[in-house]
Structure 1
């Protein structure tokens, strides 16, 4: 997810300030993302095939099931990056393929959002006191239909672009509204119980994602609305250029309105992590330092472009540089943790840590954890 997001961010079509070779760097990151996605998919598939029952156990686990939608999030960035790196270098067949991928992703991600939330709402193990931004993950893939469409709708024929834009706006609206409902519970949880445990605080940055990706999607979809389309079908006979101006104005103002929520969540998450920095040790949720903030950065850049603000553009470039450093730092920490056997090893599940030995059962008992669930 983080690598795919970085590939989108480093595209010369995204950045306000480019240099010779930036697009090549972006292509290298994108290829690296494809490699990582393939390897991880093969490994997790081997796990499910080699150990029957683990797939069902994963989907019904009170914490692991929350992350069942993350492969779709990875696919969203892979598909969106096709518009940045693939279509400009391939024939029209890829434009058609992009359209097919969008509608397939639209259907699959909606089904996942319904099914995964059904499992979440029927799980007896989760309580409001366990609430984290990870509860927003099942709707996140469907919401990213807006990002996919904003990246590639402008390359589609007008007759296909408009349905794609409207479907993406529908997905983005549902995703943002569900996120707002989750935010209410999340803030309620923090007021009553305080911040999550230090091990979970990196995941707080997940809350930065929905408003950020909504802002960039709204602006991107408005920019991609075709001027040559017969808009009288939808807008009462207005001229295409006039419709574009209205849509871009509304999208930009709405984007600024929503972007501020991302800024607030970013600051709260940053302060919470800084306060617990001495107690934080690498966990896989550290990648939340990157992926949600990719959307925050692209949204900032998009707003700067719409207002023609050089200052905001440079802020976006500075944010990009910081994200590159964070991505490399988290990657090194991840590699070191694997080397030391701190993650991705037997007995090192992400949702718990091993406590003392139970002398009656002669088994290790898991104490505490992100969700407060203990198992033997």
Structure 2
């Protein structure tokens, strides 16, 4: 769909009555709003991981983490209100061919909260918090794997999407379970060996599931781009979703390899295995980082070429979240190679993402105020 057609659809679908109240607007509060919290939570985690810290940066990161928790509670309240106002809205949202693809954003927001809790909570809490995070990890794994199976089943049997409409958002149902590897890479280090190793094994397993499903989707995506061209200008930020799988897999492999409990179980009988796995993880991460960088360049050029005509859409948050993973992967690779040059690139990317987050957040607020979103016919729940 080109920009002219998209604008015409918005004009014809929006009601003339501008007096729609809060209750009426909340009827159009979709799962896509959780792109806000998954990006904000990701930014908080990134500030904790950036290599060149100044005094007070951790405090700023903590404030953003707490702010994200407040936002998350507000979003949950808003979407529950929508489902209470319209009793059929929940089922429609989970079966809608567009809105349902954003349901995983809720779980991705949960993953960033767990990552932020590990980063900002564990260092200043007692031994009870790692235990809580361990339990939540396994609950998260079961829930997100269930989502990945059921949601793809619904997509296979419901209202069919065509290859001509293919976007990287088709990867989204498997994205939350893929982040089990990212969670494992940071949680396992503070767990006892008998608990940490199973977490790492689970992380590797489901990170592998996520990256392989993504690899299956990529040919469809590239075929769509070659055959039908770029997405509508407003939706091009969503192209950055393709950066996420290789980027998060890179950082997950490095983190899990470095968190392996030495001299325990299998590792104790194969004393060289830890060093071998860490080396393999690092070079595999470089291999995948290049794929993420290629997708990043294609996405960036596509967005810049249409920036002047681009109107806000909730997919703009794809400017942030996938690139959080890409930035952390860059930082981890620089750390492993002990390269100050790469680490400074990672720090520069962090600053750029902070600026981009501010830019998208301000446009998000302005879009609500100007009724560009949260309005009949202008959100992911629209029909047709």
Same fold per TM (> 0.5)?
A: yes
**Counterpart for residue 151 of structure 1:** 186
**Counterpart for residue 163 of structure 2:** 128
Asked if 1:22 corresponds to 2:57, the answer is yes
Assess if the C-alpha contact under 8 Å between 1:283 and 1:350 holds in 2: no
Assess if the C-alpha contact under 8 Å between 1:225 and 1:244 holds in 2: yes
Provide the C-alpha distance between the structure 2 equivalents of 1:5 and 1:89, rounded to a whole number of angstroms: 20
Q: Which residue of 322, 333, 357 maps to 1:303? A: 333
CA shift at 1:231, angstroms? 2.6
Provide the C-alpha distance between the structure 2 equivalents of 1:93 and 1:257, rounded to a whole number of angstroms: 38
**Counterpart for residue 73 of structure 2:** 38
CA shift at 1:49, angstroms? 1.5
**Counterpart for residue 312 of structure 1:** 342
**Counterpart for residue 69 of structure 1:** 104
Asked if 1:238 corresponds to 2:273, the answer is no
**Counterpart for residue 32 of structure 2:** none
Asked if 1:9 corresponds to 2:41, the answer is no
Provide the C-alpha distance between the structure 2 equivalents of 1:232 and 1:341, rounded to a whole number of angstroms: 58
Runs of at least 5 residues in structure 1 that lack an aligned partner in the other structure: 353-372
Assess if the C-alpha contact under 8 Å between 2:181 and 2:256 holds in 1: yes
Number of aligned pairs?
A: 347
Asked if 1:267 corresponds to 2:304, the answer is no
Assess if the C-alpha contact under 8 Å between 2:246 and 2:291 holds in 1: yes
Provide the C-alpha distance between the structure 1 equivalents of 2:169 and 2:84, rounded to a whole number of angstroms: 27
CA shift at 1:344, angstroms? 1.3
**Counterpart for residue 289 of structure 1:** 319
SS at structure 1 position matched to 2:294: helix
CA shift at 1:351, angstroms? 6.5
Assess if the C-alpha contact under 8 Å between 2:267 and 2:273 holds in 1: no
1:10-51 deviations in Å (ceiling 9; x for gaps): 01xx12111111111110010011001110011101111221
CA shift at 1:320, angstroms? 0.3
Further displaced range: 166-175 or 117-126: 117-126
SS at structure 2 position matched to 1:323: helix
- The residue correspondences of 1:1-376 to structure 2 (distance < 5 A) are 1-11=38-48, 14-231=49-266, 237-239=269-271, 242-350=272-380, 374=384
CA shift at 1:348, angstroms? 2.2
SS at structure 2 position matched to 1:347: coil
Assess if the C-alpha contact under 8 Å between 1:158 and 1:228 holds in 2: no
SS at structure 1 position matched to 2:158: coil
Assess if the C-alpha contact under 8 Å between 2:193 and 2:264 holds in 1: yes
CA shift at 1:232, angstroms? 5.3
1:193-241 deviations in Å (ceiling 9; x for gaps): 11111121010000000000000000000000011313357xxx222xx
State the TM-score, normalizing by the size of structure 1: 0.90
SS at structure 1 position matched to 2:112: helix
Provide the C-alpha distance between the structure 2 equivalents of 1:190 and 1:283, rounded to a whole number of angstroms: 20
Assess if the C-alpha contact under 8 Å between 2:96 and 2:381 holds in 1: no
Further displaced range: 138-147 or 268-277: 268-277
Between Structure 1 and Structure 2, the one with more helix by share is 2
Provide the C-alpha distance between the structure 1 equivalents of 2:277 and 2:296, rounded to a whole number of angstroms: 28
SS at structure 2 position matched to 1:10: helix
CA shift at 1:277, angstroms? 1.4
Runs of at least 5 residues in structure 2 that lack an aligned partner in the other structure: 1-37
Assess if the C-alpha contact under 8 Å between 2:267 and 2:274 holds in 1: no
